[in-house]
Amino acid sequence: PGWLNDIVRFLPFKYLAYFPAMVMLGKFDHATLVNELLIQLGWIVGLLVLNRVAFARGVRRYAAHGG
């Protein structure tokens, strides 16, 4: 359905194979390429922040026992 396509279009999975292949084939115009790169940059920044938060919480809760 169309609503599901709109959601899937913004997920990061297409940047693994589909997006690089379409760039190499020259299928994107300049505006679309910039838009897709900005979405990809948003995912990179968002996941980096999530990674930092999860790591900080994990280190705070870490406790070593034994010898």
Mean pLDDT, range 42-64, rounded to an integer: 92
Q: Write out the DSSP string of 13-66.
A: GGGTTHHHHHHHHT-S-HHHHHHHHHHHHHHHHHHHHHHHHHHHHHHHH-----
Q: What are phi and psi of 66, to 5 degrees?
A: 105, -165
What is the predicted pLDDT for the residue at 67?
64
What is the predicted pLDDT for the residue at 34?
95
Task: Give 26-46 pLDDT, tens digit per residue.
Answer: 999 999 999 999 999 999 999
pTM of the predicted model, to two decimals? 0.75
